[in-house]
Amino acid sequence: MENLNSILAKYGWGKMALIPILQDLQEEYGWLSEELLDEVAQRLRVSSSEIFSMVTFYKSFRLKPVGKYLITVCLGTACHVRGAPDVLDEIKRRSGIKDGETTKDNLFTLETVNCVGACALGPIVIVNDEYHGLMSKVKVEKLIDQLYEKNQ
C-alpha cells in the first residue's frame, strides 16, 4: 500500500479530494478493489458506504479487474453517426464480451464512453492509451486479430 500512502499524501490526506484520490488509485491499480476502498475509507475517516456510493455513481470508476487490453469504444454523437455501433458490435462478436465485461482469459475488457474529444477522427477505439481513429468493422477486426496474435 506504499502507492496508496503517496497518493493520499499528494492530496494532503483530505477527504475533500476523494474523487481525484480515487482517480489516481484507479490509474495506479487499474481498478478499485473492495479492500482498497475500505483502506481509503479508514485512512480518510469516511464511511465505506460513502465511498461505495461515490464509485458506483461515477461510471468511470472500475470495480472489477481489467484485462490486459482495455478496449474503449466512443459512442459519442460524432462517432455514433460515423458507425461506432457497428465497430462495437464487431468487437463484441470477436471477443464474446459485452460492455463492462472482461474475457475469461483476462485479455480484453470492453467499455464505452461518450466523446473523448477526437470527434474528427471518429469512430474512435482506444486500446489502453493508444487511440485508433477512423475505425470500421474491417479495421477493428484486424486490430483484435493482431492483439490475439501477440498473445499466442
The residues that touch ligand FES, with contacts defined as CB under 6 A, are 74, 76-79, 115-119, 122, 124
Look up cell 476523494; give the residue: 18
- Closest contact distance (angstroms) between CB of 75 and ligand FES is 7
CA separation for the pair 73, 80 (Å, rounded): 10
* Closest CB to ligand FES: residue number: 76
Nearer to ligand FES, 66 or 124 (CB): 124
Nearer to ligand FES, 118 or 127 (CB): 118
- Closest contact distance (angstroms) between CB of 91 and ligand FES is 15
Residue 137: which H helix or E strand, with range?
A: helix 137-150
CA dihedral 83→75→24→61, nearest 10 degrees, is: -130
Nearer to ligand FES, 5 or 77 (CB): 77
Closest CA to 90 of 116, 123, 130, 59: 123
C-alpha cell recorded at residue 43: 485512512
- Closest contact distance (angstroms) between CB of 121 and ligand FES is 7
CA separation for the pair 130, 92 (Å, rounded): 19
Nearer to ligand FES, 37 or 124 (CB): 124
- Closest contact distance (angstroms) between CB of 80 and ligand FES is 7
